């Protein structure tokens, strides 16, 4: 009997030791992955060791990220944790709220005061260096500040709108603010944002397009001018990937196609590739289906349209602009689209060479505060 009791007491410890040994062996011999389909992002790779990085502390922090990203069966553990939290009633995972009616909403992270000052200063420096360029700025609110009724009951206002208004008040009059919040808030019963992704839908982009048209002096087309076509109903977006929440319905993606069949040519300048469509249909077969719009993010894109009125536009943007730009193709002859995260050229040189006289800065609020590349506008002004 004593022997039996001792065995029973030791068995859990032995099983735990066996489990740890198996996981350690799998981590040791499993090949590293470069990309996570479920999280839709690049994974950390083994950092290069040097005494300099070790003493600076960067090697250990990078190594921790590498171990976390490459942990065997990582996707399974993330899903298991999120599902356990959901069953226990928890409504937040990895900075994502599980809201009402199947909505996932990204939790807003306020910027530091210093970071915000640097961004504002960089924009002002660029404005001062380009006085002949008429500039507009659209700082788009995210779903969590527009669809407040979808937030979990315990989630309080975390200040996104207040910070957005602070930015708009800080900008000088030579940068015209395009405020789309009233239009989006007034149409919140429509499908303005995806449920599983942080982007606005094509309908949300359409409502913002109506506002921009009035600000920029062109007459925006109405819905009857477009053929609205659903191209997929199996889209699981970035918040689905980030949160680990499952058992939710996928989103649909729609195109607003002009009935007059206007065509545009798109040149991906850095890649030296061209196409005659604003849509990369092959991406509908991939995880990141939002990349169907302009084939995702690129440093510099040139769009040439059938419009012959001679109006040209520079767009400095994040990925919110990708589903927005097809609407502008109806009103501009050429558009030069720059994503500062990947652009290595000189904006002032581009403006002069292409004789550009209008510019739109288009960012969603969260990306604006998170993206350090915006500060490079100060370098562009030198």
Confidence (pLDDT) at 50: 82
pLDDT band at 379 (very low <50, low <70, confident <90, very high): confident
Partners of 302 in the β-ladder: 267, 336
% of residues, the chain, pLDDT over 70: 84
- Reported pTM: 0.82
List all residues 6 or more positions away from 257 whose beta carbon is below 8 Å from its beta carbon.
226, 227, 228, 229
**Whether the predicted pLDDT of 309 surpasses 60:** yes
d(CA 263, CA 243): 38
Sign of the CA dihedral 125, 130, 135, 139?
negative
**Residue-wise DSSP of 295-364:** TS--SEEEEE-S--S--EEEEEE-GGGGGTHHHHTTT-SEEEEE-TTT--S-HHHHHHHTT--EEEEEEE
Work out the average pLDDT over 278-295.
Answer: 96
Q: List the domain boundaries for the chain.
A: 2-101, 111-380
Give kind and range of the element (H or E) at residue 220.
none
Q: In this predicted model, what pLDDT tens digit does every residue of 106-123 receive, in sequence order?
A: 999 899 999 999 999 999
60-74, 153-167, 341-355: least confidently modelled range: 60-74
Q: In this predicted model, what pLDDT tens digit does every residue of 144-193 receive, in sequence order?
A: 999 999 998 878 667 899 999 999 999 988 899 999 999 999 999 999 99
% of residues, the chain, pLDDT over 90: 65
pLDDT band at 263 (very low <50, low <70, confident <90, very high): confident
Question: Encoding tokens for residue 193?
Answer: 């944002």
**Whether the predicted pLDDT of 1 surpasses 60:** no
pLDDT band at 266 (very low <50, low <70, confident <90, very high): very high
């Amino acid at each position: 009997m004593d022997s039996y009791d001792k065995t029973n007491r030791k068995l859990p410890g032995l099983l735990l030791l066996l489990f740890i040994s198996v996981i350690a062996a799998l981590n040791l011999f499993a090949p590293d992955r470069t990309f996570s389909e479920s999280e839709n992002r690049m994974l950390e790779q083994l950092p290069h060791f040097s005494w300099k990085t070790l003493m600076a502390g960067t090697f250990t922090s990078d190594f921790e990220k590498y171990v976390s990203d490459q942990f065997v069966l990582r996707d399974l553990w993330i899903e298991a944790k999120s599902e356990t939290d959901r069953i226990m009633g928890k409504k937040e995972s990895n900075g994502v709220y599980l809201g009402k009616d199947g909505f996932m909403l990204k939790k807003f992270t306020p910027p530091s005061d210093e970071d915000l000052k640097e961004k504002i200063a960089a924009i002002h420096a660029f404005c001062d260096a380009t006085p002949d360029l008429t500039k507009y700025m659209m700082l788009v609110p995210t779903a969590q500040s527009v669809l407040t009724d979808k937030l979990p009951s315990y989630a309080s206002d975390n200040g996104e709108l207040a910070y957005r208004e602070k930015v708009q008040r800080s900008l000088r009059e030579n940068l015209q603010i395009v405020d789309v919040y009233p239009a989006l808030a007034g149409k919140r019963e429509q499908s303005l944002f995806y449920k599983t992704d942080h982007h606005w839908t094509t309908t949300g982009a359409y409502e913002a397009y109506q506002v921009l048209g009035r600000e920029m002096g062109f007459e925006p087309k109405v819905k009857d001018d477009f053929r609205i076509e659903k191209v997929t109903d199996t889209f699981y977006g970035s918040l689905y990937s980030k949160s680990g929440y499952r058992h939710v319905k996928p989103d649909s993606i729609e195109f607003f196609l002009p009935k007059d069949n206007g065509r545009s040519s798109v040149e991906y300048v850095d890649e030296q590739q061209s196409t005659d469509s604003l849509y990369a249909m092959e991406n509908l077969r991939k995880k990141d289906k939002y990349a169907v719009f302009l084939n995702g993010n690129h440093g510099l894109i040139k769009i040439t349209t059938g419009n012959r009125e001679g109006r040209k536009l520079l767009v400095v943007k994040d990925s919110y602009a990708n589903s927005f730009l097809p609407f502008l193709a109806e009103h501009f002859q050429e558009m030069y689209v720059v994503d500062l995260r990947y652009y290595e050229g000189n904006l002032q040189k581009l403006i002069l060479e292409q004789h550009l006289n209008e510019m739109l800065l288009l960012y969603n609020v969260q990306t604006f505060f998170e993206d350090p590349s915006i500060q490079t506008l100060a370098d562009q002004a030198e």
